Amino acid sequence: MFQNIASFTRRNLIPHVLRQILRKSVQGILMVLVVSAVTFALLSAAGGDAFSALRENPQVSEETIEELRRVYGLDRPIPIRFFNWLSAAATGDLGRSITFRVPVSGLIAGRFVNTFYLAAAAILFALFIAVFLSFLSVRIRSRAVQNGIDALVLVFVSVPRILLALLVLMLTALLAGTTARISAGSPQMFLLTAIALGLPLAGIFLGQFHEQLTGAMSEDFVQLARAKGLGEWTVIRRHASRAALVPLITLFGLSIGALLGGSVIVETILGWPGIGSLMVSAVRGRDVPLVMGIVLFSSLAVWLGNLVAEILQIANDRRLDASNNR
């Protein structure tokens, strides 16, 4: 991808791309800072922390609670605590999880890898559905197929992930005891989990890509490619889909957040040890360091996703320019 960009230096592309990336980075860092600060303030100000529940235990004295709060630094003013947290976070130290009693950074890193695999599989699945069905539809070009795709889009974007995850659970229950049993941690389970996570996304991708592709098929440049005598498949693949890709890449950047949010339910129901199910344990334990860590990590992931989308967009765009000049 970078070679592609590098070959267009004569058009002052590198400075432009760098400036763009720099701008996005500054925006991203600001976003991460603001989100962390707001979450931190909310978590600290609302009263009650992981130790408030201890007050109901008669065997724990008020002094012990104070001592615990002092050890975890919960007795100092909020801005100072945020500053301490931030400077430690900059060095990779996110404190210790109160419920799991291990460093937050290590805990999150391990879980994030799992969610990354799941989200990557979900995006690939969504892309496959969107591209495959859209290609099929513009190739066949019948009203029935188009209506079918519209209906599919409506169903996909409307079906709640909680229903999808429970349906997968039901499938595993139905298959239990038969030879085609799906056990936790098996590749089949991973695929089904990814589909449950990715199906609503597939709906969004499909709707967008299908609309753009059908629109592009009647554009002048596609007519020209046809007139040159190119085969219909080549026209769709090389010319129409490139233009239709632009909004899809933007959606890809936005989908990171949607996938992280969706992973909460899907991972909890289907027992995938990722960031979503970790967030649920963090909230149930009112584990402030862990909640902060997850919020920080997810906003970083969202920012990275947007950055990647931006770079992809530039790459896709410039190639369009270059092929017109050739």
Partner 1 sequence: MAGAAIVFLFLVVAVFANILAPYDYKLQSRNEPSSPRSSVRFVGSDGSLRLRPFIYAREISDPLRMTYREIEAQEFPLGLFVSGERSKLLSFFETDVHLFGVIDRSESAPRIRLLGTDALGRDIFSRLVKAIQFSLLVSPLGALLACLIGIFVGIVSGYASRSVDTLIMGVTDAMLSLPTLILILAARAAFPLELPPLSAGILMVSIFALAGWAEMARLTRGLVLSAKDREYVLAAKATGVSGPRILLRHILPNISRPLITQATLIVPAFLIAETALSFLGVGLQEPEPSLGNLLSAASELTLLRERPIELLSPAICIFLFVIGVRLLADGTKQGSVTKKTL
Which C-beta is closer to partner 1: that of 210 or that of 318?
210
Which C-beta is closer to partner 1: that of 198 or that of 318?
198
- The count of C-alpha atoms lying within 13 angstroms of the C-alpha of 21, restricted to the half-sphere facing its C-beta, is 15
Which C-beta is closer to partner 1: that of 17 or that of 295?
295
Which C-beta is closer to partner 1: that of 136 or that of 322?
136
Which C-beta is closer to partner 1: that of 241 or that of 299?
299
Look up residue 144 and give its two tokens: 């029935």
Pick the stretch among 2-10, 75-83, 199-207, 215-223 that binds partner 1 (CB under 8 A): 199-207
Q: Does 173 bind partner 1 (CB under 8 A)?
A: yes
**Could you tell me which residues come within 8 angstroms of residue 206 by beta carbon, excluding any fewer than 6 positions away?**
126, 129, 130, 133, 134, 149, 152, 153, 156
Site pattern 229..258 for partner 1 (x: CB under 8 A): ----------------------x-xx-xxx
CA 10 to each of CA 16, 44, 255: distance values in angstroms, whole numbers, following the listed order: 12, 53, 34
Instruction: Tell me which residue of 255, 259, 291, 322 sits closest to 97, measured CA to CA.
Output: 291
Site pattern 256..295 for partner 1 (x: CB under 8 A): xxxxxxx-xx--xx------x--xx-xxx-xxx--x--xx
**Could you tell me which residues come within 8 angstroms of residue 318 by beta carbon, excluding any fewer than 6 positions away?**
4, 5, 8, 11, 13
- The interface with partner 1 within residues 77-136 (CB under 8 A) comprises none
Shortest Å distance, C-beta 264 to partner 1? 5
Q: Does 207 bind partner 1 (CB under 8 A)?
A: yes
Shortest Å distance, C-beta 51 to partner 1? 13
What type of residue sits at position 117?
Answer: Y
Q: Does 202 bind partner 1 (CB under 8 A)?
A: no
Q: In this structure, are residues 36 and 296 in contact, taking their beta carbons and an 8 Å threshold? A: yes
- The interface with partner 1 within residues 142-161 (CB under 8 A) comprises 150, 153-155, 157-161
Which C-beta is closer to partner 1: that of 46 or that of 144?
46
Contacts 24+ apart (CB under 8 A), 54-57: none
Q: Residue 96 — φ and ψ, nearest 5°?
A: -105, 140
Question: How many residues belong to the site for partner 1 (CB under 8 A)?
Answer: 68
- The interface with partner 1 within residues 175-194 (CB under 8 A) comprises 176
What Rg, from alpha-carbon coordinates, does the chain have?
Answer: 25
Compute the distance between CA of residue 13 and CA of residue 18 in angstroms, rounded to an integer.
8
**How far from each other are the two terminal CA atoms of the chain, in whole angstroms?**
19
Which C-beta is closer to partner 1: that of 235 or that of 291?
291
If one counts every other C-beta atom within 10 angstroms of the C-beta of residue 28, the result is 17
Which C-beta is closer to partner 1: that of 216 or that of 288?
288
Residue labelled with tokens 């909640």: 291
Give 216: exposed, middle or buried? Use CB within 10 Å, 0-12, 13-18, 19+. buried
If one counts every other C-beta atom within 10 angstroms of the C-beta of residue 62, the result is 9
Look up residue 319 and give its two tokens: 């190639």
**Could you tell me which residues come within 8 angstroms of residue 159 by beta carbon, excluding any fewer than 6 positions away?**
199, 200, 203
- The interface with partner 1 within residues 20-49 (CB under 8 A) comprises 27, 30-31, 34-35, 39, 42-43, 45-46, 48
Shortest Å distance, C-beta 8 to partner 1? 28
Which C-beta is closer to partner 1: that of 57 or that of 323?
57
Q: Which residues bind partner 1 (CB under 8 A)?
A: 27, 30-31, 34-35, 39, 42-43, 45-46, 48, 52, 150, 153-155, 157-163, 166-167, 169-170, 172-174, 176, 203-204, 206-208, 211, 251, 253-254, 256-262, 264-265, 268-269, 276, 279-280, 282-284, 286-288, 291, 294-295, 298-299, 302, 305-306
